[in-house]
Amino acid sequence: MSNSVAVVLLLVGAAFDLAGCIGLVRLPDVYNRLQAGTKCVTLGTCLILAGTALLAHCPACSVKAVLCLLFALLTSPTAAHALARGARITGVPLWEGSVVDQWEPESREASEGEPRR
């Protein structure tokens, strides 16, 4: 039973990793690409590591897989946040099809006369 669960986890994890990689290639700007890189790839990697922990015949290997899973859960969102913040600070523009810029300076909104949302 655990072998079939492990195989399902591995396959679903690989599918999420594939979707994340396609998103990295297809999405239009750095901010959208970070979404694909953090959400899909983090979930896919964690599922693959969980499947590996279940499938491993060595308890030490299972513990290492779980430790790697926890490390990926902690570092991937933190790294993506740092990259997005760095991109924003250095002035990397949003995709021209973006609808809302939540970090637009308030002074620009006030000068345009638009009500604040």
What are 5-38's pLDDT values in tens digits?
Answer: 999 999 999 999 999 989 888 888 888 888 888 8
Q: What is the pLDDT of residue 10?
A: 95
pLDDT band, very low/low/confident/very high, at 105 (cuts 50, 70, 90): low
Question: pLDDT at residue 111 above 70?
Answer: no
Q: Assess whether pLDDT exceeds 80 at residue 108.
A: no
Are 24 and 45 spatial neighbours (Cβ–Cβ below 8 Å)? Answer: no
Q: Which of 57, 50, 47, 52 is nearest to 17 (CA)?
A: 47
In a domain, 117, yes or no: no
Within a domain: residue 51?
yes
Return the SS3 of 8. helix
- Please tell me the total count of domains within the chain: 1
| pLDDT range class, residue 110, cuts 50, 70, 90 | very low
Domain that holds residue 67: 2-112
Residue 49 and residue 68 in contact, taking contact as beta carbons nearer than 8 Å: yes
**Is-contact 47 10, C-beta < 8 A?**
yes
**Residue in the structure block whose two tokens are 């993506």:** 80
Mean pLDDT across 79-90 = 89
Instruction: Specify the pLDDT at position 30.
Output: 86
pLDDT level of residue 106 (50, 70, 90 thresholds): low
Please list the alpha-helical segments (H only) found in the chain.
2-26, 30-35, 41-55, 59-89, 106-112
| Residues 65-84, mean pLDDT to the nearest whole number | 92
Judged by average pLDDT, the poorest of 45-54, 72-81, 82-91, 103-112 is 103-112
- Helix 2-26 and helix 41-55, axial crossing angle in degrees, nearest 10: 160
